[in-house]
Structure 1
Amino acid sequence: MNGYQITFFTHQDRRFKGKQIGDWLLHLVQELGLRGASLHAGGESFARGGRVHSAHFFELADQPVEVLIAVTTEEAARLFDRLKAEGVHLFYVKTPVEFGVLGREQ
């Protein structure tokens, strides 16, 4: 299939509607019936303003987080329509990709 890989970038302590934003995104993807999403924690990043975000031994609140999904063009449109309606503020990268599944589930 052809579509997009969409990667959202945020950090652990960002919240939206009472949930950590990464978890909120995972639930939204599931609610929309998309194939799935992966949440990845990073070690360190910096934002547009130059502020460094990193995971510390005693404090993970500022840890960088990525949420990755692979979607068709139609699914991407539904996702972005919903995000706009929710009014959530997120940075993302949307890259054209080919994706699929190999082999059988066991």
Structure 2
Amino acid sequence: MQGYFVTFFTQQSREHNGQPVASWIVEEARRLGVRGATLFSGSEGFGHDGRFHSDNFFDLEDAPVQVALALTQDECDKLMARFAETGLRVFYTKSEIEFGFTSDS
């Protein structure tokens, strides 16, 4: 299949309607019928604002988080439309990919 590899970047402490943004993305993808999503927790990084984010003892709630998905064109369009509907602003990357399984079984 042809599609996109989309990665969303956020922080553990960031919420949308009382739910962590990363969890919201995973749940929206599931609701839209996406086959899978992977949530990664990072140990440190910095965002567009230049602020340092880490999972150290003093800053646990601000750890960087990524949500990665392999999406068809239709799935990508539907997920991005949900972001537009809600007004939720999240940085992402999107790359064209080929994806599938190595075997039929």
Is the pair's TM-score, using the shorter chain for normalization, greater than 0.5? yes
Distance in 1, Cα, partners of 2:93 & 2:59: 27
> How far 1:79 moved relative to its partner?
0.9
Distance in 1, Cα, partners of 2:22 & 2:49: 21
Which stretches in structure 1 are left out of the alignment for 5+ residues?
none
Percentage of matched positions with identical amino acids: 41
List, as ranges, runs of 4+ consecutive aligned residues in structure 1 with deviation greater than 4 Å. Answer: none
Counterpart residue type for residue 76 of structure 2: A
> How far 1:60 moved relative to its partner?
1.7
Counterpart residue type for residue 8 of structure 2: F
Aligned length: 105
Q: CA RMSD in A?
A: 1.3
What's the TM-score once normalised by structure 1's chain length? 0.93
Distance in 1, Cα, partners of 2:19 & 2:76: 22
Counterpart residue type for residue 36 of structure 1: G
Distance in 2, Cα, partners of 1:78 & 1:90: 16
> How far 1:58 moved relative to its partner?
5.3
CA deviations 1:47-69 (Å, max 9, x no partner) are 11211101013542010000000
Which stretches in structure 2 are left out of the alignment for 5+ residues?
none
What's the TM-score once normalised by structure 2's chain length? 0.94
Distance in 2, Cα, partners of 1:52 & 1:12: 13
Q: Secondary structure at the match of 1:95?
A: strand
Distance in 2, Cα, partners of 1:59 & 1:51: 12
Counterpart residue type for residue 45 of structure 2: S
Counterpart residue type for residue 35 of structure 1: R
Aligned to 1:99: 99
Aligned to 1:9: 9
